[in-house]
Amino acid sequence: MRGSAPRTTPAAGAAILCVSLLVGCAYFNALYNARRAFEDAQAARLHDQPLEAASSYQEAIDKAARSYRSDESGRWADDALYIMGRAYFHSGDWARSRAALERLLATSSDSSLHAGARVYLGGVALATGRRDLGMRLLDEALEEVPDAMLRAEAHLWRARAAFDAGRAQEGWAGLDRSEAASRELRVPVALERLVRGLDSDHFEHARAGATTVLEQASGEAWADTVLAAAERASMLWGAGSAAAMLAAAERSEWAPVARGRVRLERARLLARAGDSVAAGEMAGELARGDDRTAREARIALARWRLNSVDRLEQLEEIRAILLPAIALAEAVRLIDYMEYVGLFVERAALAADHLALFAGAELARDSLGSPRLALQLFTLYADRDRGSAWEAKALMAALELTGDAEERQPLAARLNQLDDNIYVRASAGAEARPSDYAMVEGRLGTSLAILHQRVAVEAANRDVAVREAARTLDSIRAAEELVRRIAAGDSLLLDSLRLDSLRLDSLRADSLRRNAPGATSTDAFFAPDTVPRTDSILPADSVLRRDTIPRRDTLGAAEPSPGPGRPASESEAGAA
């Protein structure tokens, strides 16, 4: 009997067909997932999400490699190689990228894939320092690339290479072509224009780049870059030009928080440029919010006003600006400093401890940034403590805080009458024994330290009620958050908690006024015959030069020449 070939039953054929279909589906599904992962990676890269991009690129590589290994000569093998080559490129693995792309060129006949592979090989060459080869490959392939985004990216790579080669005009033209090729790369191209403008000292290009980034909603991811660029621009071209560079923030499509950050920085730049009206209006608008930017805007407003105040009672208005911002440590510090200045002045009035005026003046100058108020307090101290060793030091400090000729003339005249004072002799270069400086500065330092300690104790005693209110308020806010999470529908309870919070806010505001019973009126204390005129303002072009003021931390040490006898103040007695 002659043997015959085994016959395939219908059931076996169906099974083979099912297996083939399953293998084919798995093969195509892996490639499909690789494409999706690559697209996700590209989107993450364009939105400045490097970790997400790196993860998705690796996923694309893994899935494309699985698809390619399933059938290296199959219909979709060249697509898998193209995905791997590009994903390796954006992951910075130049060797594997080049290997995958060169294999694609050797095995595929698809012209569009060939063009894309040559573009990426040009990018690999540029990335590995072979600029001439890279630019030649890009030039050969650019016109054949059907993908608009890839064409735009290739123009961007080529523009960067031109800039690095010192061919700036070619680089600017490349950025123009990249921007025209695809809107998807508008923000990366604009960022390149911004950075290159800063690097080449070209303001118009930098401003154009910043404007585009601010106008595009996707540019929000680079908010920190824009802010850093603005600071660098202010150093290159001045605060006014840097503010102009951020003008598009007024019409930006960014989310309110990010847009507010840029607008606040623009307000600060305008203030530095001297446009205090525009800066104040912008910061005032931002301060109406209830986020961190609003609180920072309040601090900016407070600091600008502190720079010009010259009367103690004006600090109350500034304290009111800062109260809603007490969640920030800087606001709390400023409120504390204002309170301490007030307590120093109060102590000088009630205890006749004139040196407290000197301490308050230093605090106003160094911590509050209030040169006008410091000028008044230094002058008032010199008036009240005539004949002391530190009268001249106070007059010198006052002179350094004003550039107004009318204010300087009487101060300088008084200083000229103190030619025997140790500070006057030191500033004139006269020789003095080191021990003289040691004693006078030691006495001043000890006296001021005692004053600061006593004022801190007094402030702490007055703040007990405020601290209790703050702790209670924090507890209520924590409870309110818990209620919001667990029982979001219990509106009656939430309303009750909010009402309590409002009452405590009122308590805090009242307590922070620091109006101690029986305190002497500030107006009565600043007598008209002892205080310089308050209607003059610090000229905009004056510079506070404090490096010439003899200070406790810069003078050598020494014993002063004995001055006219006077009773020692409480703080000086403590120092002695």
**pLDDT bracket for residue 571 (50, 70, 90):** low
Tokens 């923000």 appear where?
187
Query: Terminus-to-terminus CA distance in the chain, angstroms?
Result: 133
Tokens 């080529």 appear where?
158
Dihedral sign of CA atoms 453, 458, 459, 465 in order:
positive
Q: What is the pLDDT of residue 2?
A: 38
Q: What is the C-alpha separation between 22 and 430, in angstroms, rounded?
A: 100
* Tens of pLDDT, residues 242-284: 999 999 999 999 999 999 999 999 999 999 999 999 999 999 9
Q: What is the pLDDT of residue 186?
A: 94
Q: Taking a C-beta distance cutoff of 8 angstroms, is the pair 377, 361 a contact?
A: yes
Instruction: Return mean pLDDT, the chain.
Output: 82
Alpha helices in 108-255 (DSSP H): 111-127, 131-141, 148-164, 168-181, 186-199, 203-215, 223-237, 239-245
Q: Taking a C-beta distance cutoff of 8 angstroms, is the pair 25, 71 a contact?
A: no
Tokens 């209620």 appear where?
483
Q: Could you tell me the two tokens for 275?
A: 């446009």
Q: If DSSP codes are grouped into helix, strand and coil, which group holds residue 210?
A: helix
Q: What is the pLDDT of residue 480?
A: 62
* Tens of pLDDT, residues 161-185: 999 999 999 999 999 999 999 999 9
Q: What is the C-alpha separation between 509 and 466, in angstroms, rounded?
A: 9
Q: What is the C-alpha separation between 282 and 246, in angstroms, rounded?
A: 13
Q: What is the C-alpha separation between 264 and 357, in angstroms, rounded?
A: 35
Q: What is the C-alpha separation between 444 and 49, in angstroms, rounded?
A: 57
* Tens of pLDDT, residues 509-558: 444 444 443 443 333 333 333 333 333 323 333 333 333 333 433 333 33
Q: What is the C-alpha separation between 447 and 572, in angstroms, rounded?
A: 5
Mean pLDDT check: name the lowest of 314-323, 387-396, 464-473: 464-473
Q: What is the pLDDT of residue 472?
A: 65
Nearest Cα neighbor of 265 from 235, 236, 295, 300 is 300
Q: If DSSP codes are grouped into helix, strand and coil, which group holds residue 558?
A: strand
